[in-house]
């Protein structure tokens, strides 16, 4: 017959301590050094493991926070998840992560799955659910958002100050001497906000916007948009709504025989970990994903979920590297006009 699993009563008997003292010790409370030593020895001898499910039934808390992310391919989502874990680790809690692949039906299922695990809160990254559908899905579970893709609904939310980041990127290119600046835009909410900020920055400079092409926030989306953009009108620089899109543009530019930054300067958005290792290293707007994840975890654990909380805006930073520089010839408007001229390599 198999040996039964040791209980907290067994630990208390072995350690010659009360159940209350053992419970305090196991939950990080204050007990005497001598009692703690006896309890730790008893736990090791008996092979005791705390029953978190039973503990949750008693306390009403599971020690888990559910995290829904669009996918596991985007490095930025991994940074955000790591930031969430930073805060949970400090509190002896854990994250349960599920992907939704940017599909509202899958997001609803993910939320239902996590609620079935009795999570203490939910952090939703890039949620697309309409407010009514979201409210029905979470059913009163505390929620915090990161870069919500749907309309704001009063839940605590962490958002990047996209407009500030775009202004910094466009100003950098203008200060370098560029006047024909194209844009590869995203199709989701943050991509559209960055597109609007680009158009506003060009208008503030008294310039007509360059060609704008949109695609998904992927390398393939950036490459397809770049093929359309580079084939339209002359540009000396392109601002991309994400680093992954910028990689697609770099690939399309190489295929056309264009040198970066000699023929066309490129600026991305996100500053993913590999951006500095590209050739040339990518000038980009740094999105502090890990800090945003930390902020979201604190919001879901600390903010009253029955009251509207203002959106927490996080400031981005422009990181200048080798993919941007001045136009090689101020009298030439773009790569097509320089066809046949030697590049400054």
pLDDT tens-digit profile of 55-103?
A: 554 445 678 999 999 887 778 888 999 999 999 988 888 899 999 888 8
Tens-digit pLDDT profile for residues 259-284: 999 999 999 999 999 999 999 999 99
> From CA 237, how far away is CA 264, in angstroms rounded?
5
Q: What percent of the chain shows pLDDT beyond 70?
A: 88
pTM of the model: 0.74
Which comes out higher in pLDDT, residue 64 or 27? 64
What's the start-to-end Cα distance of the chain, in Å?
A: 77
* Domain CATH number, residue 148: 3.40.50.2300
Can you give the residue range of the structural domain that contains 224? Answer: 162-282+321-338
Residues 298, 188: one domain? no
User: For the chain, what is the radius of gyration of the CA atoms?
Assistant: 26
Contact 174, 209 (CB under 8 A): no
> From CA 285, how far away is CA 167, in angstroms rounded?
10
> From CA 287, how far away is CA 301, in angstroms rounded?
23
| 345, part of any domain | no
Residues 149, 46: one domain? no
| 57, part of any domain | no
Which comes out higher in pLDDT, residue 72 or 52? 72
| 39, part of any domain | yes
Residues 277, 188: one domain? yes
Query: Which tokens is 18 given?
Result: 């009360």
Residues 300, 263: one domain? no
| 58, part of any domain | no
Residues 298, 211: one domain? no
Angle in degrees, CA 163, 165, 166, rounded to 5: 65
Query: Which tokens is 323 given?
Result: 């993919």
pLDDT of residue 266: 98
Whether residue 337 has pLDDT greater than 60: no
Q: How many domains does the chain have?
A: 3
């Amino acid at each position: 017959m198999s040996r039964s699993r040791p209980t907290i009563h067994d630990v208390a008997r072995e350690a010659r301590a009360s159940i209350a003292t053992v419970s305090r010790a196991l939950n990080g409370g204050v007990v005497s050094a001598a009692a703690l030593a006896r309890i730790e020895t008893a736990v090791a001898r008996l092979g005791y493991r705390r029953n978190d499910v039973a503990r949750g039934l008693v306390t009403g808390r599971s020690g888990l926070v559910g995290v829904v992310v669009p996918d596991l391919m985007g490095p930025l989502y991994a940074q955000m998840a790591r930031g969430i874990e930073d805060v949970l680790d400090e509190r002896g809690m854990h994250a349960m992560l599920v992907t939704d692949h940017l599909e509202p039906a899958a997001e609803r299922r993910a939320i239902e799955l996590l609620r079935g695990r009795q999570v203490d809160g939910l952090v939703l990254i890039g949620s697309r659910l309409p407010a009514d559908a979201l409210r029905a899905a979470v059913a009163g579970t505390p929620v915090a958002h990161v870069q919500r893709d749907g309309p704001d609904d009063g839940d605590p939310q962490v958002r990047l100050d996209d407009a500030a980041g775009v202004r910094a990127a466009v100003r950098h290119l203008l200060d370098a001497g560029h006047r024909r600046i194209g844009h590869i835009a995203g199709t989701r909410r943050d991509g559209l906000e960055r597109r609007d900020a680009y158009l506003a920055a060009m208008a503030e400079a008294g310039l007509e916007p360059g060609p704008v092409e949109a695609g998904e926030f992927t390398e393939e989306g950036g490459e397809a948009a770049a093929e359309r953009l580079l084939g339209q009108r002359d540009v000396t620089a392109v601002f991309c709504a994400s680093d992954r899109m910028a990689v697609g543009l770099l690939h399309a530019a190489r295929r056309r025989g264009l040198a970066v930054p000699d023929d066309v300067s490129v600026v991305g958005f996100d500053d993913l970990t590999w951006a500095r290792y590209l050739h040339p290293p990518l000038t980009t707007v740094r999105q502090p994903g890990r800090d945003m994840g930390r902020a979201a975890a604190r919001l879901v654990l600390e903010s009253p979920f029955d009251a509207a909380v203002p959106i927490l805006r996080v400031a981005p930073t422009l990181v200048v590297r080798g993919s941007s520089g001045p136009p090689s010839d101020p009298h030439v408007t773009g790569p097509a006009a320089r066809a046949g001229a030697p590049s400054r390599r």
